[in-house]
C-alpha cells in the first residue's frame, strides 16, 4: 500500500499540488499517493480525522484552512508559530505536527533559483495578511539591511512589526505613501491585489535598475505590479510559480526526507 497524502481546501480543484507531488514522487521513486480533498467550510476537523483514521501520513493545507490547521496541530515549528498558520501537516500516532513552508519556499526561489542574495539588501514587503506573516521570519533570517512592511490598512502593518520586533527591532511599518523617496533592492508583493488585476499604489522611485520585483501571485501573466516595476526600470521580475513549487518541495522533504529537483517543473508550469 502506498503512503497517502493530500491537499485539503475549499475550493481545491484549482490546486496544482496533486500535479506537483505526482511529479516529485515519480522523480524520486517514492511509493506514495497524493489526492485533493474538498472539505466543507465547517468540516475541516472531521475531514482531517477521517484522513488520519484511514492511515493518511500528511497533508498540505490551503485556503481557507491554514489557521484551522495551526489550531489543531499538537506540535508547531518556530516558523508555523510565527506565521500563526500551517500549510503542511504530519500525522504520527497521536501527534499532529504543523509546519509552514511558504516562507522557506519563497526564500529558496529568490536566493537559489533566481540567484538573488537578500543579505544586506533593502527589502520592501507589501501586504500584511496571512502570506506576509509567513514570509517575515525567513526573510529576517537572511539578514537584510532593512525591512519595511507596507500595507493599505496601516494598522495591520504596525501589528506585524510589533509581532516580529523581538526577532529584529529595526523593522519599519507604514502605508504606501510613507515610502515615498525610498528605493528598494527587493520588493515583494504579498498582497492579493494581483488576484483582482489591481496595481499597488507604489510611488515612483521605489525600484532601482538592479531591483528584483517578486509577485507571489502566479498564473495571470504579467500582473499590474510587475508591469509597473518593469516601467520603473527594475531589471529582475518574477511571479510566484517558483515559490509554489519550492514550498511543495519543502513539504515533500519533511514527509519523505528527499529533496526533489524543481527547476524543470517550474519551467513547465510557467509555460
Catalytic residue positions?
Answer: 66
Residues 16-75 that bind ligand NDP (CB under 6 A): none
Q: Are 7 and 15 in contact (CB under 8 A)?
A: yes
Q: Least distance from C-beta 182 to ligand NDP, angstroms?
A: 18
Q: Least distance from C-beta 54 to ligand NDP, angstroms?
A: 27
Q: Least distance from C-beta 37 to ligand NDP, angstroms?
A: 18
Taking CB under 6 A as the criterion, the residue among 92, 95, 183, 198 binding ligand NDP is: 198
52 vs 253 by CB, closer to ligand NDP: 253
The stretch near ligand NDP (CB under 6 A) out of 32-40, 90-98, 113-121, 237-245 is 237-245
C-alpha 28/C-alpha 202 separation (Å) is 43
The stretch near ligand NDP (CB under 6 A) out of 20-28, 43-51, 164-172, 216-224 is 216-224
- Nearest residue to ligand NDP by CB is 129
> Does the protein bind ligand NDP through residue 195 (CB under 6 A)?
yes
The stretch near ligand NDP (CB under 6 A) out of 41-49, 129-137, 205-213, 253-261 is 129-137
Please report where in the chains the cell 501537516 appears, as a residue.
89
Name which of 8, 27, 45 is nearest 256 in CA terms. 27
> Does the protein bind ligand NDP through residue 224 (CB under 6 A)?
no
> Does the protein bind ligand NDP through residue 192 (CB under 6 A)?
yes
Whole-angstrom CA distances from 133 to 22, 178, 213, 236 are 29, 20, 19, 24
The stretch near ligand NDP (CB under 6 A) out of 112-120, 164-172, 241-249, 253-261 is 241-249
> Does the protein bind ligand NDP through residue 151 (CB under 6 A)?
yes
Whole-angstrom CA distances from 242 to 7, 45, 109, 114 are 18, 30, 5, 9
52 vs 175 by CB, closer to ligand NDP: 175
Taking CB under 6 A as the criterion, the residue among 7, 118, 217, 249 binding ligand NDP is: 217
> Does the protein bind ligand NDP through residue 153 (CB under 6 A)?
yes
> Does the protein bind ligand NDP through residue 129 (CB under 6 A)?
yes
> Does the protein bind ligand NDP through residue 124 (CB under 6 A)?
no
Return the bridge partners of 150, or none.
126, 174
> Does the protein bind ligand NDP through residue 127 (CB under 6 A)?
yes
Q: Exposed, middle or buried, 169 (CB in 10 Å: 0-12/13-18/19+)?
A: exposed
Where do contacts with ligand NDP occur on this chain (CB under 6 A)? Answer: 102, 127-132, 151-153, 156, 190-193, 195, 198, 200, 216-218, 240, 243-244, 247
Amino acid at each position: 500500500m502506498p503512503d497517502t497524502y493530500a491537499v485539503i481546501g475549499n475550493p481545491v480543484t484549482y490546486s496544482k499540488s496533486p500535479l506537483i507531488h505526482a511529479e516529485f514522487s515519480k522523480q524520486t521513486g517514492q511509493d506514495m499517493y497524493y489526492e485533493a480533498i474538498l472539505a466543507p467550510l465547517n468540516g475541516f476537523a472531521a475531514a482531517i480525522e477521517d484522513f488520519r483514521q484511514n492511515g493518511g501520513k500528511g497533508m498540505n493545507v490551503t485556503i481557507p484552512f491554514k489557521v484551522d490547521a495551526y489550531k489543531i496541530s499538537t506540535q508547531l515549528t518556530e516558523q508555523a508559530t510565527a506565521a500563526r498558520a500551517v500549510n503542511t501537516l504530519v500525522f504520527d500516532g497521536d501527534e499532529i505536527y504543523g509546519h509552514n513552508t511558504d516562507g522557506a519556499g519563497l526564500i529558496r526561489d529568490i536566493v537559489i533559483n533566481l540567484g538573488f542574495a537578500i543579505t544586506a539588501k533593502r527589502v520592501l514587503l507589501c501586504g500584511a495578511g496571512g502570506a506576509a506573516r509567513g514570509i517575515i521570519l525567513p526573510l529576517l533570517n537572511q539578514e537584510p539591511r532593512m525591512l519595511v512592511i507596507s500595507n493599505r490598512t496601516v494598522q495591520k502593518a504596525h501589528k506585524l512589526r510589533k509581532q516580529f520586533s523581538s526577532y529584529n527591532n529595526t523593522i519599519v511599518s507604514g502605508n504606501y505613501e510613507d515610502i515615498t523617496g525610498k528605493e528598494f533592492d527587493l520588493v515583494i508583493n504579498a498582497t492579493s491585489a494581483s488576484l483582482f488585476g489591481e496595481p499597488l499604489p507604489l510611488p515612483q522611485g521605489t525600484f532601482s535598475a538592479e531591483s528584483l520585483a517578486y509577485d507571489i501571485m502566479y498564473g495571470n501573466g504579467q500582473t499590474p505590479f510587475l508591469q509597473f516595476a518593469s516601467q520603473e526600470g527594475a531589471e529582475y521580475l518574477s511571479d510566484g510559480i517558483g515559490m509554489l513549487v519550492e514550498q511543495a518541495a519543502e513539504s515533500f522533504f519533511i514527509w519523505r526526507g528527499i529533496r526533489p529537483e524543481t527547476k524543470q517543473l517550474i519551467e513547465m508550469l510557467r509555460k
